[in-house]
Amino acid sequence: MVIDDNTGISELMSRSNALIEAKKQELDLVLVSPKTNPPVAKIIDYGKYKYEQSRKEKQQKKQTKAGEVKELRLSVRMGDHDIEQRVKRASKFLKEGYRISISLRFRGRENIFREKGLEVLEDFANRLNMDFTQRPKFMGNIVNVQLKQKTNNESENTPE
């Protein structure tokens, strides 16, 4: 099966006839799908075909970035400006397709104020208009949590 890229016409022809047709048009015969029955070939410029394939591969690599996680560290004693800077950085990561993980560390006597730490995490998530994937986990003196986009039901039910 030979597909002519210029006309868009596909027809069944022998390999030798397809090569002759490609030479007439001063193009290349590229085997696109060799495992099908009959195999599919295109009459196109090989350089153009190779360029399109590399662009598709780059696009796929960009989309796999969504699986990567960026971690941001917060503290109970952080100032409002510092938290705002972390929010800006987190929104930048989200636009680039990363997932966000937040860790909050309690040092010394800060362990007494675990509720304050949870408030800081909730405030951070609300500023990004996001929600926790799971409840925050305390591992010793560190709390880890991952964020996800709020669903429509959750954002509509928030009190004003």
pLDDT at 152: 61
What pLDDT was estimated at residue 54? 93
68-156 has which fold? Translation Initiation Factor IF3 (3.30.110)
Domain 2-62 matches domain 68-156 at the CATH topology level = no
**Superfamily of the domain at 2-62:** Translation initiation factor 3 (IF-3), N-terminal domain (3.10.20.80)
Check: pTM over 0.85? Answer yes or no: no
Residuewise pLDDT in 10s, the chain (160 residues): 888 877 777 888 888 888 898 888 888 888 888 888 888 898 888 898 899 999 998 888 776 665 688 889 988 888 889 989 999 999 998 888 788 889 988 888 888 888 888 888 888 888 888 888 888 888 888 888 888 877 665 444 544 4
Q: Are strands 2-4 and 40-44 parallel, antiparallel or unpaired?
A: parallel
| Best CA proximity match to 13, nearest among 46, 41, 33 | 41
Q: How, if at all, do strands 137-139 and 99-105 pair?
A: unpaired
Quick one: pLDDT at residue 65? 61
| Domain extent listing, the chain | 2-62, 68-156
CB 87 within 8 A of CB 128: yes
Task: Note the pLDDT of residue 115.
Answer: 85
State the SS3 of the chain: CEEECCCCCEECCCHHHHHHHHHHCCCEEEEEECCCCCCEEEEECHHHHHHHHHHHHHHHHHHHHHHCEEEEEEECCCCHHHHHHHHHHHHHHHHHCCEEEEEEECCHHHHHHHHHHHHHHHHHHHHCCEEECCCCEEECCEEEEEEEECCHHHHHCCCC
